[in-house]
Structure 1
Amino acid sequence: MAISRVFFSDLKTGKCSSVVEARLLRYWEARNVKRGWELMWVDMLLVDVNATMMQATISAHRVPRYQERLTAGAMYSMADFDVARCAQNFRLCDSSLMIRFNESTSFDEIDEPVSALPEEAFRFRDQSELIGLANTSTQLPDIIGEILSVKSTVTDPPEEKNRAMP
């Protein structure tokens, strides 16, 4: 029987034996400063073919099994993992779910995914959401910017000789 491929948006809590293809955007170690910088886990931010981001975690005792394979920007095929609810205070993306590696998780780098995987993902928030996050110590946006207007170079003629082209 063939193993089915799914997207992050298809995942439900519990064990998942389906295959997900994703790009590893970033990863970092979580360490306990009160215990001599002891490694607690590795957090990752993944994006699938639909540009859906999801957080994944590898517990400290499983890190040695996967550590040499972790490369930011690389594409992976993963299966046999657990899907759990993400704690509200530790959410790294909009998804309320997260992936947890277990003893049987396969996590293999792939050269040619079935579909093209995005190289980056962005998270947009309006001003009221950003003000709501201020001084909460729950989520820290990486980059904050403001879009004042959007002008199409196709339908709107340029007002100046110097213009930016995508």
Structure 2
Amino acid sequence: MKKKFLIYLAIVVGLVLVFYTYMGGFTEVKISEAVSSQVVIAGKYFEGDPSSDALGDIYQQVGKAVEQKQIVGDFAGIYYNNPGKNSKTIKAFVGVAVQDTTALPAGFTVRVVPAGRPVLRGELDANITLAPKRIYSALFDHAEEHKLNLKEFYVERFPEGKPAVIEVELNQK
């Protein structure tokens, strides 16, 4: 009985590792200091409890708009406070990085992130469910290790078929 349990456990662990690898869980996060390019994001603003249903509703609305081809682009977002901190309030603009802003779904607005900002950029070729946490962790570790000051301004992009990108604006002294 004990031997069968260990065999089943080994199989389950093996399958989990294969799945995690497939999702990009062991892929290395690439960190670089860069200059940002302009990003135009169409979406909706949210300020409140990160575990609230309202935030989940916004993510669903954005996903539905992309799925129904009401808006074309890659999932993106702007965070105005650290999404990684255990905070009771999150300030976020959730949406889609777009090229064309002429026809937006009802209730969507546009935010433009200007080019030319010094940023710390993290890139990871992994599934959208794994990428943010891994990239943020790597960015914060890199900033601490290199004594870089970061602003509370984060831009996320999740282009289809390309690595996820998160940029954190560097605080220039």
TM superposition score normalised by structure 1: 0.21
TM superposition score normalised by structure 2: 0.20
